[in-house]
A = this chain, B = another copy of it.
Amino acid sequence: MAGETASAPREGVLAGEPLRPAPPSPALFLALIAPKLDAVEEVFRASLASDVPLIGEAGAYLAGGGGKRVRPALLLLASRMLGHDGDEDVTYGAVVELIHTATLIHDDVIDHADLRRGRTAVNRLWGNHRTVLLGDWIYTLAMQMALSHGRVEVIRRLVGATLRMTEGELLALERLGFPGLTRDEYFAIIDRKTARLFAAACSVPALIPPARPDADRILTRYGEALGTCFQLVDDLLDFTGREEELGKPVLSDLKEGKLTLPLILLLPRVAAARRRLVEQVLEDRDFTRVAPEQILELVRAEGTLEEVGELAAQYAASARRELDPLPISPAREALELAPDFVLYRRS
């Protein structure tokens, strides 16, 4: 399966609408775990209820705001693949989504975001101060829920991923607006910021007894590769996505001062006048002196979106390959489909 799809994403992620294949149906990927994913949604929603007024209101708003639930879905599929009964995985699925949610809302404070998933961002509705405390509360709640089955190894894994995630955010913040960000720095950031929580989500089921150190290693590597692919595609979608699908304007990253791989690859290759266009947006943090279309033309001309798409496809293929040593099962097949889902997604 890896061989069949490794060359496809070029069109998938990048080409114009007519040539763009539809992403694989989420139904294929999710069928095996649909009831459990509903249960995660229920636990997630219930956990955000509180008699503290702000938590109750903002929690209901967050719970109703959609989201792809990629991390819980991966966790549930890995759990299914390992043959776990019971609902422990549902708890951990809700926990990874809570951790992800807390990160997003603190990110939105930091980025002064107006929109998140097409709706007004929490910080715009409740203010930065409440949002900081709400994020603290959600992080801590996630830890409390992660403890509910008394498994030290699980919470250790999740706490470690959260720590790396915060470090990734801090490294990114240090480099905000800096046009000299290197490819290595970029990968160091996305590894911590995104890949580690994917790896934790995928591997947590291997820590539920009977512990499966072999599956732990495989699923950790699978999650790392898939998370890296996810972030590369995220960064590509900032160039190629459509506002109504993304729920935010294109080139939001650049406008916020974040240089991502397509431009990191491009800058050393183009003349100073063209580099200057990118630098101006990084300086201004808006598109008054440079139009978004000028940046899009630049990357189209240089072909770095295709390069990054290729790289994302390689990470997707490498994630799939990690699963080879595991016995074939419907859940393994669904995990093999997940990279395509990540690669072809439009939002």
Contact = CB atoms under 8 A, between A and B. Distances in A.
A78 interface: no
Interface string A304-320: 00000000000000000
Contacts of A160: 144
B174 A53 contact: yes
Nearest to A135: B136
Nearest to A152: B150
Contacts of A173: 54, 129-130, 133
Interface residues of A, number: 38
A50 to B, nearest CB: 8
Contact of A163 (B53, B106, B137, B169): B137
A110 B128 CA distance: 8
B133 A110 contact: yes
B163 A140 contact: yes
Copy number in the complex reads: 2
Contacts of A133: 106, 110, 166, 169-170, 173
Nearest to A192: B52
Contacts of A143: 143, 155, 159
Contacts of A147: 152, 155-156, 159
Contacts of A163: 137, 140-141, 144
Interface of A: 50, 52-55, 106, 109-110, 128-130, 132-137, 139-141, 143-144, 147, 150, 152, 155-156, 159-160, 162-163, 166-167, 169-171, 173-174
Pairs of residues from A and B, 9 with the lowest C-beta to C-beta distance, nearest first:
A110-B129, A137-B166, A140-B163, A136-B166, A144-B159, A140-B162, A150-B152, A52-B167, A133-B170
